[in-house]
A and B are shown apart, each in its own frame.
Chain A
């Protein structure tokens, strides 16, 4: 029962997060913004459509959306909401989570290259590079969580952490911060990528799926939302544990993550493509620093 509630919460969040981001952006720009269920309706509409395939593509192109969505679903089933346990929980599931994300990424890269387009390769190449660079940051975040909780199991990590000192609050907040940064990279948001851009040459994620339509595009969109919700949930869990707050606030914090992304997107321009690698490596550097801070803190507490 508990597991099903967890799953439902994350699914609802997955639907809410993209809307919240775009609503925030609209409000800050003085627009009225879309209806709260607009993205949902759009996707339903996509699911009702037929398909157009390029004669260049092979089966890889047709299977990739299913692989992307499938891996995102399974990854989502490992994320807890506060102390609520997820469906899949075992020691070392943090490792599997990272690799499931990598699986989805690899599937989309191959699909993009399958079209033989001169643009989609750009997106695929960038996605592969940014994915490779952000991977250490993700592992460092999970490593820090494992270090301070003493567990390698997502559902235990957030229930075991005792954030009783100011130091620990700071560490947990940095984890939340890094998780939000990982969200921006993995989901292709500003400053890495602008999902609303209209020039193929400068896109990352959007250009990879240029040739998809109908059901396939819907699958990729749903997969994206679930992936986003999973990472946002990690951030929200970290912030909630930092202040030892109630579980209902976890959901609010997940939406807060979306609002933060929206605000950042409203006030920042996207970075130059060449600067992105530096940006991502900086995240990794902060994550490494965070790990060592947590490490020294723990050693001192023990002493």
Chain B
């Protein structure tokens, strides 16, 4: 069924090129919606019946032979990807209105077509059991997302970043090809299931390491994260949202899928993932506090989220290895819920950054400010995302953190044998959690609160309906998980059980469900109390004198909006104590001695990622030099190339004669 629909949809997608510019995005939306309905209905069927569906064999020249299958793990990812895809296309509707005139017809067509292709490729990758088809879909994903990024290709910086993305993704792709061909050399059939047989007969660590490299680049774990800030800042907002909310999760999907086949050496793998996750989380959160560019901020924050997910997966595997099934289940369920949260709120945050970007024409936080009054809807929705990102009750961010912490605390309380890991996890996660609050309050307050820092921002209005409606589905998810966590944990626990623990460990989850019911009661009571307090206050103030007066200036009567607290100063405290992870550069022209009345001065502060700066060091220059020399043989003349071919044959001939080959 699904495979036929996919083929129909691909052929329908060609329609995009035919219709007038105005309707292209509507056709795109129709195709994606159709695909989402079909694939989600299959996925929901799988989750409801708790059995994997076989979608039938296909013999096709392009898509390879083999069968498509949706199991519990891929079902949840299909739903995540579909929800994000629908939101993204709705958002793109609004976004296109701005660009309809400035872009050529073919650009728009290509962009819309790539949206469809990226969505279908992701669904294809998630539902294929066959390795070849998986790899084809994976590559299609990379290419279509590359085409999406270069929407504003006039800008050379964007082209450079997009190429950077393309190269790095192919390094990951090569790793995957190597991993799968290692599998093939053992005469195993080219399906995911044969990984199980391979891992039973061989040491899983080397192959897992290659897989981790391949999938980890997609997920953006430390130190493979350098493409994140570059790519997200280059791409249009909805593309960043699509990549961050949907495509990035596929990297985690890959890791989870491979892990689900591994039964031995789980301890080593678990500790590795735990450490990688911890470093990614800390690195991401510390760098996100330093960022000035909103999209770069979100990129590092995304890295932090993935770090926490990997940390939780690591904890789950360690629990599994040491027979602590309860911790394994809690951590794995927490990781999957965190994944859903991340897809929901990161998509939305990119949308709101997109709204800001088109309205205020800037992605630099320090130039923004006071947007809450100009764009109230965007501000409100971003505030909700802030609470999710910080993991604060009563929204869904808290639920995932609660699950992971619950597993760790329970291990400590029951004196299981992973206490040291549990306490390390506790310390790392609580520190990350604390700094995330700093990062996000900075992000929100510098952009939305206070006064506008530029006079040109006085006339900003909120965006059109489509770009607000796009927030609906993820926001609903956020509230639903936040207020009714027990229902979702009940759905997700069996999925976690397919990776760790097995079916028996599901019974142990009852205590968690009981706690989660209590959590939702407490959350509802808290919301009620807050609402009651706010109502009472307003009631009391109604009959009293409420006046307006400027913000307290400590006796200073002529403050300007430029005197507000800036983002750089907000995070200065943390930077001053964190070890120098970043390479800081401060450019300022110093005040001259004879300047009695200071002239205009400027200061520029840059924090660059040390991993990123690795690629601008001396050894890169040497490679460039060698490359330049070698490239002189590229003459663009056919006769030279024929000569090279001839030389090649001569060399081969000589080598054969002297028996050197």
- Residues of A near any B CB (own CB < 8 A): 47, 49-58, 60, 62-63, 65-67, 69-71, 73-74, 88, 90-96, 98-100, 102-103, 105-106, 109-110, 113-122, 124-126, 128-129, 131-136, 138-140, 142-143, 146-147, 149-152, 200, 210-211, 214-216, 219, 274, 277, 284, 288, 291, 295, 298
Question: What secondary structure prevails in chain A residues at the interface with B?
Answer: helix
| Given A122-B565, A295-B419, 18 other A-B residues pairs in contact with their CB atoms under 8 A | A51-B544, A51-B546, A55-B550, A58-B448, A70-B530, A99-B393, A103-B393, A106-B390, A106-B392, A109-B445, A113-B446, A115-B450, A121-B565, A125-B571, A129-B438, A150-B415, A210-B552, A219-B533
Proximity bits, B498-528, A CB within 8 Å = 1, else 0: 0000000000000110110011011001110
Complex contact B449–A74 (CB within 8 A) = no
The answer to whether A125 touches B570, judged by C-beta atoms less than 8 angstroms apart, is yes
Quick check: is B472 within 8 A (CB to CB) of the other chain? no
Q: Which A residues are CB-close (under 8 A) to B406?
A: 91-92, 95, 152
Q: Which of B110-118, B204-212, B423-431, B643-651 contacts A (4 or more CB under 8 A)?
A: B423-431
**Closest A residue, CB atoms, query B547:** A52
Top 8 nearest A-B pairs (CB, nearest first) are: A121-B565, A132-B434, A113-B445, A116-B450, A70-B530, A90-B518, A50-B544, A135-B434
Closest A residue, CB atoms, query B404: A95
- B413, A114: Cβ atoms closer than 8 Å: no
B596 within 8 A of A: no
Nearest CB of B to A114, in Å = 4
- List A contacts of B565 (CB < 8 A): 113, 117-118, 120-122, 124-125
Q: Which residues of A contact B372 (CB under 8 A)?
A: 58, 60
Among B70-78, B88-96, B354-362, B573-581, the stretch in contact with A: B573-581
Q: In the complex, what residues of A have CB within 8 A of residue B571's CB?
A: 125
B570 contacts which of A95, A99, A106, A124 (Cβ < 8 Å)?
A124
Output the least CB separation between B272 and chain A (Å). Answer: 23
**Closest chain B residue to A291, Cβ basis:** B423
Contacts of B547 in A (CB 8 A): 50-53
Please report the C-alpha to C-alpha distance between residue A184 and residue B413 in the assembled complex, in whole angstroms: 27
Beta-carbon contact of A102 and B390 below 8 Å: yes
Our pick among A100, A146, A298 for the contact of B409 (Cβ within 8 Å) is A146
- Taking a contact as CB atoms under 8 Å apart, the answer to whether A106 and B431 are in contact is no
24 contacts between A and B (CB under 8 A): A51-B546, A54-B552, A56-B450, A58-B372, A58-B448, A67-B530, A74-B522, A74-B525, A88-B522, A91-B410, A92-B406, A93-B518, A96-B402, A116-B370, A116-B451, A118-B564, A121-B565, A125-B572, A129-B574, A135-B434, A146-B413, A147-B415, A211-B552, A219-B537
- Minimal Cβ-Cβ distance residue in B for A144: B412
Decide: A121 and B570 in contact? CB cutoff 8 A: yes
* Contacting residues, chain A, for B413 (C-beta < 8 A): 146-147, 149-152
B260 at interface, CB cutoff 8 A: no
Contact among B423, B434, B451, B544 with A102 in the assembled complex (CB-CB below 8 Å): B434
Is the pair A102, B549 in contact by a Cβ cutoff of 8 Å? Answer: no
Which residue of chain A is the closest to B546 with respect to CB atoms? A51
With a cutoff of 8 Å between Cβ atoms, the chain B residues found around residue A132 in the complex are 431, 434-435, 437-438, 574
Scan B544-575; emit 1 where CB is below 8 A from any A CB, else 0: 11111111111000010101111001111110
Given contacts A106-B390, A147-B413, contact A99 B537 (CB under 8 A): no
Expressed in whole angstroms, the Cα–Cα distance for A187 and B403 within the complex equals 29
Partner of A116 from B391, B511, B529, B564 at Cβ < 8 Å: B564
Complex contacts, A121 vs chain B, CB 8 Å:
564-566, 569-570
In the complex, chain B residues whose CB is within 8 Å of the CB of A91: 406, 410, 511, 514-515
B125 CB to closest chain A CB (Å) equals 36
CB distance from A107 to the nearest CB of B (A): 9
B444 on the interface (CB 8 Å rule)? Answer: yes
Residues of A within 8 A of B551 (CB): 54, 56-57, 115-117, 211
Alpha-carbon gap, A124 to B433, bound state (A): 17
| Complexed CA–CA distance, A74 and B522 (Å) | 7
Q: Would A99 and B401 be within 8 Å (CB), given that A53-B546, A152-B409, A152-B410 are in contact?
A: yes
| Cβ-defined partner of A74 (8 Å) among B410, B529, B569 | B529
Q: Which of B379, B444, B446, B548 contacts A54 (CB 8 A)?
A: B548
